[in-house]
């Protein structure tokens, strides 16, 4: 049993790998309505299960009996204050129902067609939980020694103190207290958790890496054609263009990091650019040829080079001017440097920018640039 505390975007990388290697069921505990969503129910008390409903967890475990599998319960703290529309508390029921598979390695099957008290073997299931319990405590722990946990990469030599002072003395008793607050019997769940993995706040180097990666992902969407119809959340007035950002803008986004909000606090910088960039395009503040204007407004894939009406891909830059403390949008690199911000995401993570593509991809980097230590910043 693993409990990951203090949410972090690195979960995406972790579970992408787990999905490849294992069969994984991911459940957002914040979306649960009652215990039947997980375990099913026997409506009307029918002992034969004739009128039963099947829960997601029960169906998954039944199909994976005696096989390796992973159950990922995201935001495990959410059911603690869950109530129905009639005001009936669901937290104790959900947590108590987990005692059986966690302690006995079996789960009572209440689905239609199942015999009364039929058991599902889930002894080979690995349970992974994420929780915001202890988030403030984790941040305070790191901020007490910023030179160790924020200014530099956390090394293996720091792990014994993290386990002793943070995990053993703070997080383990805290989880026990939270579960006991739901119901006295539920605190037994805490004793079934084998390992706590606290995610410390991003270091200063990691903030720039994460900010750059998030900006790259957002701005790359502009290289696709415009989306003028369909789902309103996916519509985009302009496309078929190349939007990039400078190192100064990545640093600006990193400076907006809030440990309580995580990577989402840095993504807001991309939202700023979206609004500013779209306004400038609508107001015709950029110098574009007629062909380029048609290209960025088109919902079709661009015409290939060499064909009639071909227009080169328009290039734009997002930059933060440290002198004026303002965001600048331009059609050439406003920073004026001959090298580029980053090359590939892998090289950003490992700390070295070599010749390749820029932060948003596509523009050659002419001069290698050492940005971080060669140590993997996520190696803790």
Query: In a structure prediction context, what are the per-residue pLDDT tens digits for the chain, which is 380 residues long?
Result: 555 555 444 455 455 555 555 688 999 998 888 888 888 875 545 455 555 677 899 999 998 888 888 999 999 999 988 876 666 788 898 999 999 999 999 998 876 556 666 889 999 999 999 999 999 999 999 999 988 888 888 888 989 999 999 999 999 999 999 999 998 989 999 999 989 999 899 998 889 999 999 899 889 989 999 888 888 878 888 999 999 999 999 999 999 999 988 888 888 888 889 889 989 998 989 999 888 898 999 888 877 776 776 778 899 999 999 999 999 999 988 876 544 433 334 334 333 332 233 333 333 332 222 222 223 323 33
SS (H, E, C) the chain: CEEEECCCCHHHHHHHHHHHHCCEEEEEHHHCCCCHHHHCEEHHHCCCCCCEECCHHHHHHHHCCCCCEEEEEECCCHHHHCECCCCCECHHHHHHHHHHHHHHCEEEECCCCCCCCEEEECCCEEEEEEECCCHHHHHHHHHHCHHHHCCCCCCHHHHHHHHHHHHHHHHHHHHHHHHHHHCHHHHHHHHHCCEEEECCCCCHHHHHHHHHHHHHHHHHHHHCCCECCCCHHHCECCCCCEEEECHHHHHHHHHCCECCCECHHHHHHHHHHHHHHHHHHHCCCCCCCHHHHHHHHCCCCCCCCCCCCCCCCCEEEEEEECCCCEEEEECCCCCCCCCCCCCCHHHHHHCEECCCCCCCCCCCCCCCEECCCCCCCCCC
What φ, ψ does residue 70 adopt, rounded to 5°?
-130, 130
Exposed / middle / buried, residue 294 (Cβ in 10 Å: 0-12, 13-18, 19+): middle
**What pLDDT, on a 0 to 100 scale, did the predictor assign at position 291?**
86
Asked if the structure places residue 380 within a domain, the reply is no
One domain, residues 232 and 273: yes
| Residue where one domain finishes, among candidates 166, 198, 230 | 198
Residue 127 tokens, joined = 């349970």
Residue 148: its pLDDT value, please? 86
* Total domains present in the chain: 2
Could you tell me if residue 376 is inside a domain?
no
CA–chain centroid gap for 277, Å, is 26
Angle at 3 between CA 211 and CA 68, to 5 degrees: 105
- Whether 54 maps to a domain, the answer reads yes
CA–CA distance from 337 to each of 57, 247, 273, 349 (Å)? 54, 10, 21, 22
Residues 269 and 181 in one domain: no
Q: Does residue 377 belong to any structural domain of this protein? A: no
Query: Which among 173, 198, 223 is the end of a domain?
Result: 198
* Long-range Cβ contact pairs of 84-87 (< 8 A, separation 24 or more): 84/33, 84/34
Is 217 in contact with 274 (CB distance < 8 Å)?
no
194/210 same-domain check: no
366 and 303 within one domain: yes
Crossing angle of helices 91-104 and 172-182, in 10° steps, is 120
Examine the domain organization and report whether 191 and 86 are in the same domain: yes
Structural domain contains residue 181: yes
Whether 379 is in a domain gets the answer no
Are residues 239 and 99 located together in one domain of the fold?
no
pLDDT value at residue 4: 57
Residues 110 and 64 in one domain: yes
223 with 93, same domain: the answer is: no
Full-model pTM: 0.71
Residue 375 within any structural domain of the chain: no
- On whether both 47 and 170 belong to a single domain, the answer is yes
- Cβ contacts of residue 19 below 8 Å, gap of 6+? none
Yes or no: say if 273 and 327 are a contact pair by the CB < 8 Å rule.
yes
Q: Contact 145/200 with Cβ under 8 angstroms?
A: no
CATH number of the domain within which 83 lies:
3.40.50
Would you state the pLDDT for residue 50?
56
Domain boundary (158, 179, 198) is at 198
Do 103 and 225 lie in one domain? The reply is no
- Are residues 216 and 114 part of one domain? no
Judge whether 169 lies within some domain: yes
Residue 44 exposed, middle or buried by CB count within 10 Å (0-12, 13-18, 19+): exposed
Closest CA relative to residue 170, chosen from 144, 145, 134: 134
CA distance 365 to 340: 5
Q: Which two tokens stand for residue 152?
A: 């530099």
Q: Say whether both 315 and 350 belong to one domain.
A: yes
Domain of residue 241, residue span: 204-370
Q: Are strands 24-28 and 69-74 parallel, antiparallel or unpaired?
A: parallel
């Amino acid at each position: 049993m693993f409990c990951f505390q203090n949410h972090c975007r690195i979960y995406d990388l972790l579970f992408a790998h787990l999905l490849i290697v294992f069969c994984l069921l991911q459940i957002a505990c914040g979306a649960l309505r009652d215990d039947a969503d997980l375990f099913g129910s026997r409506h009307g008390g029918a002992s034969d299960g004739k009128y039963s409903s099947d829960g997601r967890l029960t169906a998954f475990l039944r199909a994976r009996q005696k096989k390796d599998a992973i159950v990922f319960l995201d935001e495990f703290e959410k059911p603690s204050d869950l109530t129905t529309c009639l005001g009936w508390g669901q937290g104790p029921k959900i947590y108590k129902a987990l005692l059986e598979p966690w302690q006995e390695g079996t789960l009572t099957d209440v689905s239609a067609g199942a015999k009364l008290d039929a058991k599902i073997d889930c002894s080979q299931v690995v349970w992974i939980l994420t929780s915001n319990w202890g988030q403030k405590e984790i941040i305070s722990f790191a901020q007490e020694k910023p030179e160790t946990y924020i200014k530099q990469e956390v090394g293996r030599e720091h792990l014994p103190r993290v386990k002793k002072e943070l995990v053993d003395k703070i997080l383990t008793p805290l989880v026990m207290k939270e579960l006991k607050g739901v119901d006295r019997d539920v605190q037994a769940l805490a004793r079934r958790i084998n390992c706590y993995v606290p995610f410390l706040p991003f270091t200063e180097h990691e903030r720039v890496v994460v900010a750059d990666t998030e900006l790259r992902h957002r701005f790359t969407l502009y290289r696709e054609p415009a989306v003028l119809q369909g789902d309103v959340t996916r519509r985009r007035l302009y496309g078929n263009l190349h939007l990039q950002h400078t190192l100064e803008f990545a640093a600006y986004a990193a400076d907006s990091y809030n440990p309580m909000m995580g990577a989402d606090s840095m993504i807001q910088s991309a939202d700023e650019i979206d609004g500013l960039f779209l306004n400038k395009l609508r107001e015709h503040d950029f110098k574009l040829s007629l062909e380029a204007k048609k290209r960025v407004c088109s919902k079709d894939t661009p015409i290939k080079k060499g064909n009639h009406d071909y227009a080169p891909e328009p290039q734009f830059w997002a930059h933060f001017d440290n002198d004026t403390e303002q965001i600048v949008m331009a059609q050439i690199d406003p920073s004026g440097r001959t090298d580029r911000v980053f090359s590939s995401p892998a090289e950003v993570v490992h700390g070295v920018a070599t010749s390749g593509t820029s932060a948003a991809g596509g523009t050659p980097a002419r001069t290698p640039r050492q940005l971080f230590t060669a140590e993997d910043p996520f190696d803790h």
